[in-house]
Structure 1
Amino acid sequence: MPSPGPWRGVLMAVVGGLALLPALLAVAQLGRIHPDEVYQLLEPAWFRAHGYGVMAWEWRVGLRNWAAPGVASWLLRLADALGLTHPLAYRAVLAVPQVLLQGWMLWATYRFAERRVGPGPALLAVLGVGLYGPVLVFAGRTLGESLSAAFLVVAMEALDRQEAPVRAGLLGGCTLGLAVVVRYGSAVMVLVALAWLVGARRWKVLLFTCLAGLGVALALGALDWVTWGKPFHSLLAYVDFNVLSGQAARQFGASPPSFYALPLLTALPPWFWGALPLGWLSWRRRPAVSLPGLCAAVYFTALCATAHKEERFLYPGLVLLVLAAAPQVAGFVGRLGAERGRKLGSLLLVATTLLAGVLYPREDLKGDQFRAIVAATRGDDVRGLLIVNEGLWGSGGFFYIGKNIPWMTCDRPRDANFQAAMRDGRINRAVTFEGRALEELQAAGFRVVTQVGRETVLARK
């Protein structure tokens, strides 16, 4: 084992590098996993910072709270003050707090694993979580699932501590509360965590967890009061829309529980299945219920029972499952007798960890479209933009256009927006996916400027 000084340096380097990687991927790729990435955080933040933007229906009826978009709006103001006006630059500014949050999550992962298997295998467990394919895809994204999962991991580690119950409860309650603030659907796991504390008879930790969580809840109520005119307006509206009224299923569709079978199986790393017998043997020696594993299991059950389903909803539960399993597998690798076996086992764990990112989520990130929009709207002579073969909610909004100019979306040349754009002299830039309406655009005076992946960028005088 290396001495404490060098070992700590290696640990900090690994945690820092892994924390930075998802943000670098997200900023370099651009695009989005789901429209909510843009229209539930980036675009509301842009609206708050600049006074204009596309506001989704949730922001007209008060179904969301302004916590995360509010913080992002002040970061956008800071970027403006620093002269960072390119979309890539201010998107990178927004990535800074996510890097810090991801680093906090990975440090919590190390602490959680170290208690179980010691420093060396714990570092391998950090690699198993930090290089987990869905983490690389999601952790740098501005989705509620992405932010909530990181807060949940920190909370799991805090509540797992046996020392300093007051501090553990305060940290656990605060981060559980923040996990709900950024994504109300995570409340299921908060209830499970509280029940777990009751079952473990950890009354002091439970008390301070509840006190800290209550403080976050009161802050949320005050924020909703200021922004929506009623305490807990967004939370109550969310529960009514998604749980009580059934409107979510009617508006966005309902699916059977089997909807999650394939994405759940393909999203888990192959080594996860090896953790199941290892966990059973560990439980036989010392019976104990894994908090992150229990939270994930109940959360998946709740997802299956909810009518409206989306693959991205799985992400927080997947991270908790991997958190629960990684120490078991890393500890097994660390106990292998031959050094060659340990190295091979570590290599296999890391390599297979990455595989799930290829299969989950099965979404087109549209990174080339967003990069094309950024390329098309640079320059002082840009007066307006048409995006062909894309709807409003699939586009990047004013956030990626970066200026207050008219813009439209359409699917085909016969659409009203396309015809209006061809007549509107302000629309002097166009982006089209896979060459749709290319001839019609050229007939209207547009010329091809550049190609960005599957996207063609055009301009006219």
Structure 2
Amino acid sequence: MALLPAIVAVTQLGRIHPDEVYQALEPAYWRVHGYGVLAWEWRDGIRNWAVPGVLAAFLKLARMLGITDPQGYRAVVALPQLALHAWSLWAAYRFSARRAGPAGGWLAVLLLGLYGPVLVFAGRTLAESFSTSFLVVAMEALDRREREGRAGLVGGAALGFAVVTRYPSAICVVAALLWLMAARRWKLLAFTCLGGLVVAAGLGLLDHVTWGSPFHSFFKYVRFNVLSGEAAARFGSATPGFYAMPLLMAVPLWGWAAVPLGLWALKRKAGVSLPLTCAGIYLAVLLATAHKEERFLYPALVLGLLAAAPVIAAFITSRAHGALRWGLATVALASGLASAFFFPPNDLRADQFRAIVAATRMGGATGLVIVNEGLWGSGGFFYLGQEIPWLTCDWPRDGAFQQGMRERRFNRVVTFEDRALPEIQAAGFRIAKRIGRETLLVRD
């Protein structure tokens, strides 16, 4: 089950958001090869080097193994995330089996593992993807009743890594600590804080080594995104209604069906689970935050459905007739899979990334022009796989386009939906292949 998102990401390529490349893959590539495109966050010190550092280690491993094809070393880079996702699915089973029994636990894992956004996100090198997997691990650990010292250390460390990989996950940390206090689980709370503090100390040391002062990136992030309002001013703001349609499209049928069943459980004083608490508080903060993006919903969706999955699984597995059980399970799984078509709603441009890889894998590439795409929508040097000049542009009148057509060192062009194709051919390029909506052209 954990392999599926990795296979989707590696075979499909593309990106949900530019951060997938420029906040993880490209800085890791820069670390290993000494060249690459560093986004403004890496100049201002608003990010920490934890995730790029781990990915860089696996890039070095790929280089040692002689893997030079971008899609090949992208597969190697997927290994740590694959292991993390497998750990989170095992945690989801343990969490669900406590409430729905072993059979219900396995059905819950199927519901979560085959949930469309999980298949799309869990293999992507986005902060939301890494952080959410750690949050699921933390939810299960802090739900345990046995060996609370060990459970607290694991849960606290997982919460800490969720914050290291994505600073807004600190909202879930606060929510989890409040839930533990409300439940009066003081020993578990103490060990959770201890586990989290160990990870926090590691982050402080990492920032001191890389940025010159402890917690440099965290303070810079909070100042930019929370205190100054610069994030909303630079990237836009929206009303809470912005999230209405993404939520309606992303929550599967079985997620909505869990609402009345969950309310019935509350009447029996079952209490609100930790993942539901974290999902609710996190979503409330999202609604109140000015800058909004669909991908920000992903942690709330997964945590909310982690709470819902055992409720639905217990209901389905308790049906007396086998045909009814199989029918309900099939409908639930199908509704979860279908949500992949609607969330995320933006174009992954996977064919463009495959065309960029093909442009340099043909051999003899000395320069590349990407038409109808800006810098932050391209694959960077990570997907080029070699140090050659490359330009991005939209129209033939753009200076970058004219430079690429004029200078003979630019001997590869990738154009989206045949934008400026006559002008490109007039400059001596010929069509080499078509990859989806992309056309790859070469010239001698």
TM-score, normalised on structure 2?
0.99
Give 1:70-109 correspondences, 5 Å limit: 70-109=53-92
Give 1:292-441 correspondences, 5 Å limit: 292-441=275-424
Instruction: State the partner residue of 1:59.
Output: 42
Q: CA deviation at 1:422?
A: 1.4
Q: Which amino acid aligns with 2:390?
A: W
Partners of 2:98 and 2:211 in 1: how far apart?
Answer: 44
Corresponding residue to 2:16 among 33, 49, 52: 33
The SS at the match of 2:282 is helix
Q: Which amino acid aligns with 1:45?
A: A
Partners of 2:324 and 2:57 in 1: how far apart?
Answer: 51
Q: Which amino acid aligns with 1:92?
A: A
Q: Which amino acid aligns with 1:57?
A: W
Instruction: State the partner residue of 2:246.
Output: 263
Partners of 1:76 and 1:338 in 2: how far apart?
Answer: 52
- CA offsets per residue over residues 345-390 of structure 1, 9 Å max, x none? 1111111111111111101000000000000111441101000010
Instruction: State the partner residue of 1:122.
Output: 105
Partners of 1:286 and 1:388 in 2: how far apart?
Answer: 60
Q: Which amino acid aligns with 1:88?
A: Q
The SS at the match of 2:415 is strand
- CA offsets per residue over residues 391-443 of structure 1, 9 Å max, x none? 00000000000000000000001100011111212100000001011111111
- CA offsets per residue over residues 84-111 of structure 1, 9 Å max, x none? 0001100000111111111101100000
- CA offsets per residue over residues 12-66 of structure 1, 9 Å max, x none? xxxxxx1000000011110000000000000000000100000000000001000
Partners of 1:235 and 1:286 in 2: how far apart?
Answer: 39
The SS at the match of 2:295 is helix
Q: Which amino acid aligns with 2:133?
A: A
Runs of 4 or more, structure 1, over 3 Å off, are: none
The SS at the match of 2:142 is helix
Partners of 2:259 and 2:60 in 1: how far apart?
Answer: 48
The SS at the match of 1:377 is helix
Instruction: State the partner residue of 2:256.
Output: 273
The SS at the match of 2:413 is strand
Instruction: State the partner residue of 2:233.
Output: 250
Q: CA deviation at 1:285?
A: 1.7
Identity of aligned residues (%): 62
Q: Over aligned residues, Cα RMSD in angstroms?
A: 0.7
Partners of 2:56 and 2:384 in 1: how far apart?
Answer: 16
The SS at the match of 1:84 is coil
Where do 5+ consecutive residues of structure 2 fail to align?
A: none
Instruction: State the partner residue of 2:136.
Output: 153
Instruction: State the partner residue of 1:163.
Output: 146
Instruction: State the partner residue of 1:179.
Output: 162
Partners of 2:362 and 2:104 in 1: how far apart?
Answer: 52
Instruction: State the partner residue of 1:9.
Output: none
Instruction: State the partner residue of 1:216.
Output: 199
Q: Which amino acid aligns with 1:270?
A: L
Partners of 1:367 and 1:342 in 2: how far apart?
Answer: 38
Instruction: State the partner residue of 1:195.
Output: 178
The SS at the match of 1:160 is coil
Q: Which amino acid aligns with 1:195?
A: L
Q: Which amino acid aligns with 1:42?
A: L
The SS at the match of 2:391 is strand
Q: CA deviation at 1:273?
A: 1.4
Where do 5+ consecutive residues of structure 1 fail to align?
A: 1-17
